[in-house]
Amino acid sequence: MPTTAPEVHRGLAGVVVDTTGISTVIPETNSLTYRGYPVQDLAAHRSFEEVAYLLWHGELPDGAQLREFRARERALRPLDRTTAELLAKLPETCHPMDVLRTAVSFFGAEDPTEDDGRPASGLAKSLTLLAKLPTVVAADQRRRRGLAPIAPDPDLGHAENFFHMCFGAVPAPEVVRCFEVSLVLYAEHSFNASTFTARVVTSTLSDLYSAVTAAIGALKGPLHGGANEAVMHMLEEIGDPARAADWLDDALAAKRKVMGFGHRVYKHGDSRVPIMQAALDELVALAADPGTTRLAALHAALREAVLDRKGIHPNLDYPAGLAYHLMGFDTPVFTPLFVMSRVTGWTAHITEQLAHNALIRPLASYDGPEQRPVPASA
């Protein structure tokens, strides 16, 4: 019996699958709010810890709440010996995102309350991840450089402590601030692919660590978070500002995607880019060396060329990728830096999904072979 083929929404483009009270992206006005607050105001005036609290609790913390939150985060930073030894045994050929994914999976295996879906225990687990993931990322980068890990310093704020664990020193306040701005901007972005992944896993009533492990897998891909790393590889491949336009023409002719450009939701520019670009410009001015000036010129030349040839704007990964390079991080660590921030958004969504859960299970339009008899085996 002939039936009308259902409308297919490949990639779920334009499909509204649920409500959320955590953040909203309004492409028409180029705005993004977390719990109602414009992200540019949060980036300018609030710390990443305050933004994490806002995403999880729905309101910014008062002084006492922030002091308590900070104290808890600082106490949770160290890794236990078993975790540290397990991570140190992973092959150095694996990507730092694989290390992070394994770490979260292992935290889940170690946590006896893993299957407890209560919001309070979800928040405790979320804070544990917020506190411990930077320790994992820093130790992994140092191991790959042949260096011993540096223990977290409870006297330092979240961003400062991360630099301390990576490099044994805290850089100029402008550098720390630029990093903190990137953490605030990366924290949350509605139903992006990795957050949606976390919500799909949660919708089966699976545990928080499983959802975050899956989300890390989704973020790793170069069409999503992996693009910040890919931006740096691309800039290195181009090498010279004078080559940007010709490189782009060749890349487009070969149907390559230009990393750090385009967006599923924003078609006229990513609301976060001007803030991140301004922070990046400060880093460039601070460095004031010919190598940095040249990289910044190449970055600007490619941005102009992409806009000119394709009318496509950069997304957050474009300025963030170069900023992370200038801060001294190794390129494969860029997407783990994104995870350190986005874990706040993922876990806020996990809590929200559990509060109004419906199993996420879409339909598909079948286009395989007609029903046929199974042939006798040979």
Ligand X SMILES: O=C([O-])CC(=O)C(=O)O
Ligand Y SMILES: CC(=O)SCCNC(=O)CCNC(=O)[C@H](O)C(C)(C)COP(=O)(O)OP(=O)(O)OC[C@H]1O[C@@H](n2cnc3c(N)ncnc32)[C@H](O)[C@@H]1OP(=O)(O)O
Q: How many residues bind ligand Y (CB under 6 A)?
A: 18
Q: What is the 3-state secondary structure (H, E, C) of 350-366?
A: HHHHHHCCCCCCCCCCC
Task: Tell me which of 86, 124, 156, 265 binds ligand X, using CB under 6 A.
Answer: 265
CA distance 14 to 265: 9
For position 317 contacting ligand Y by CB under 6 A, the verdict is yes
Per-residue binding letters, 10-29, with ligand Y (x by CB under 6 A): -x------------------
Q: For ligand X, which is the closer residue by CB, 32 or 129?
A: 32
CA dihedral 287, 237, 306, 316 (to 10 degrees): -50
Per-residue binding letters, 233-272, with ligand Y (x by CB under 6 A): ------------------------xxxxxxxx--------
At closest approach, how far in Å is the CB of 297 from ligand Y?
21
CB 315 within 8 A of CB 156: no
Q: Which among ligand Y, ligand X, none contacts residue 262 (Cβ within 5 to 8 A by kind)?
A: ligand Y
Task: Tell me which of 76, 150, 312, 360 binds ligand Y, using CB under 6 A.
Answer: 312
Per-residue binding letters, 309-328, with ligand X (x by CB under 6 A): ------xx------------
Show which residues are catalytic: 263, 317
Query: In 3D, which of 344, 89, 319 has the Cα closest to residue 194?
Result: 344
Q: Which among ligand X, ligand Y, none contacts residue 260 (Cβ within 5 to 8 A by kind)?
A: ligand Y
Q: For ligand X, which is the closer residue by CB, 192 or 203?
A: 192
Q: For ligand Y, which is the closer residue by CB, 164 or 342?
A: 342
CB 256 within 8 A of CB 228: no
Site for ligand X in 137-196 (CB under 6 A): 189, 192
For position 309 contacting ligand Y by CB under 6 A, the verdict is no
Sheet holding 37-38: strands in order across? 23-26, 31-34, 37-38
Per DSSP, helices labelled H in 17-113 are: 39-45, 48-57, 63-76, 81-89, 96-110
Q: Which residues contact 287 (CB under 8 A, 6 or more apart)?
A: 326
What are phi and psi for residue 24, nearest 5 degrees?
A: -140, 140
Q: Burial letters for 176-191: b for 16+ Cβ neighbours within 10 Å, e otherwise?
A: bbbbbbbbbbbbbbeb
By the criterion CB under 6 A, which residues form the site for ligand X?
189, 192, 264-265, 315-316
By the criterion CB under 6 A, which residues form the site for ligand Y?
11, 223-225, 227, 257-264, 310, 312, 315-317
